[in-house]
Every structure is written in C-alpha cells, then in structure tokens.
Amino acid sequence: MPGRVHRVVDTAKRPGRLSLAKTTAESRAEPREVVIVSGQLERGPVRTTHADVLLASVGERGVLCDFYDEEGSNTYRDLIQDADGTPEAREFATRVGPVPGPVLELAAGTGRLTFPFLELGWEVTALELSAPVVDGFRMRLAEAPADLRDRCTVVQADMSAFSVDRRFGAAVISSGSVNELDEAGRQGLYASVREHLEPGGKFLLSLALSEVAESQPPERRQELPGQSGRLYVLHVSVQPAEETQDITIYPADETADPFVVCTHRRRLVPADRIVRELLRAGFDVIARTPFASGASGRAGHEDMLLVEAVKQEGAIPAAR
C-alpha cells in the first residue's frame, strides 16, 4: 500500500577485528568454540518482487528480513534444523575415507551435515558466518552426547577469508554454499582452503548438476512444513541472465502477526566454472561424481555432483 512503512531487519557485522574465545575443555555442557569476526559487512534483506507484493498485502504486520539474520533465524531453524543430510554426508565419507583425521566443514549452518559426520566418528571443525545460525548450532550441539560434542569445534568466520590454528586432512562444502559467494569471494575461499589443508589433503564440494539446474522452471512455489508444525510457502524466481535466484519464504497462514517474509538471493554458478576456478587456484580436480542427494524426492535421481580436488604442492595459483 502506498505510504506504508514495513519493518526491515538489517544486521551488520561489527568492524573487522580478530578475537579468539574457547570454552573450557572441562565443560561438557558447552561445545568448543572459536569466534573470528569478519570484516565483511552482511548485506540486508533483498526486496524481491514477490516480497513487495506480500508486504503490500499485509500492511503493518509485515516484517522483511534475510533468511540468515536474527529475525529470520526462527524460520531457518524451523525449516532446516531437522533436515537429513545423511545421504550427502555418506557421499563425502566415501571420498574422505574411514579415518580422515580433522575435517573442516565450511558454511556448516545448524549442522545438517555436521551431525552425520560426527556420527561417523569424525573430528569436525564447523565454520559458519551467521551469528544467529551459530547460536542454533550451539544449542543443538549442547544437547548432543558428550562424545560428539568433544569432537566438534565451532568457528564463527567468513568462509572467504578465515584463519584457524590447525591444518586439516579434508575440507568440505555442501551444495548451495559456494553460490553464496561472488567471484572474488570464491577466490578467497579457495586460497583460505589451500592454506588450511595438510599435504595431500582433499577439498570436496557438492554442486548442483548444471543440466538439473537448467531444467528448473523460472518460477516455482511449494509449501513446506516446519518442525513446529507451522506451514510455510517457498517461492523461487530464477533470473538466468543474472545467474541468480531470488528466494522468498513466508507463512502459509495469511493472518500471521507478525507476517515474517524471509528473502535471500543466491548465485547460480555452473559446476564447470567452479572446476575451472579450482584449477586456476592451484588445485587438481581428480574426480567428478554425480550422486542423488534425496532432495528431489525421486529415489536414485542424480541431481548433485561431488567434486574432489587436491592442492598442487608448490604450485602458485594462476593470476586472474
């Protein structure tokens, strides 16, 4: 409606600084945690076309936020927290091996893959930027068995520019997470991972198969049940020329007050481009394996590509 003012929640990161904080090793109720505050500013919520229509229809009840910020964190946890990442985690496990040593998980979220990794006996450092999402992760971890807690370190940091005081036998990043970064951010990701891999260490990425992504309709809508029993609507609009998709999530109940509209814009980077970038960044891509993530709801439908790379020892990444 003309003249209406809708609340917009915009979270900004604190000025760039580096701080480290660990819980005591003796504490069994709290996970180990390292906090690294990024100098990168978090963007505010995207005003998608669909969000504008929704906000105009609900008036002052409307709240616009990003899916990963403080206001959107309840929706995020309700929809994502119990998502089963076991099939994808098993694909990673077949490539890492039965006794991988410490593993770095990038953009860990609330632990969709982390907890299956821990169940496999892995020691995991889980890195995530969003403070509300990290809080949700820590709450889950605090309720986990002590054996799992003792093998997990939580790091709040920017995956495109991070530094932790250890090296890893493998680094993994799940589907969609690479697409959160622009080209410069991806270059930073590759460089940071190279710095943190042991000699012979592997970098594993799960990516959407390009042909599957290209077959998606330009606009789709579906209802999603949350853990709480609340029903949400997911609206996705793809802009092929910009290689982006706009995501809008909101309550199916049109009378909800507040009516929280969560938005997010994600890049659509073809898998072949990621592979070329890895080669220029000083990695050898040694395997590309299609697999079924289970997300499509079609048994055995291969919708993802697992890319396996190792860093070229002594190689100097090519200049862009």
Cα 254 to chain center, whole Å?
A: 29
* Cis ω for the linkage preceding 199 (within 30 of 0): no
CB crowding 86-108: b at 16 or more within 10 Å, else e: bebbebbbebbeeebebbbbbbb
Residue 21 confidence (pLDDT) above 60: no
pLDDT confidence tier of residue 29, bands split at 50, 70 and 90: very low
Residues 6+ apart with CB under 8 A from 39: 13, 15, 16, 17, 161
> Domain spanning 44-78+213-267 has what CATH number?
3.30.1040.60
Global pTM exceeds 0.85? no
Domain locations along the chain: 32-39+83-209+270-311, 44-78+213-267
pLDDT value of residue 284: 97
Angle between helices 73-80 and 131-142 (to 10 degrees): 50
Class of domain 32-39+83-209+270-311: alpha beta
pLDDT digits (tens, 9 = 90+) for 203-224: 999 998 865 556 678 899 999 9
Q: What percent of the chain has pLDDT over 90?
A: 58
Cα distances (Å, whole numbers) of residue 223 to 155, 239, 254, 264? 33, 22, 13, 17
pLDDT confidence tier of residue 82, bands split at 50, 70 and 90: low
pLDDT confidence tier of residue 289, bands split at 50, 70 and 90: very high
pLDDT digits (tens, 9 = 90+) for 139-178: 999 999 999 999 999 999 999 999 999 999 999 998 789 9
Q: Do domains 32-39+83-209+270-311 and 44-78+213-267 have the same CATH topology?
A: no
Residue 66 confidence (pLDDT) above 70: yes
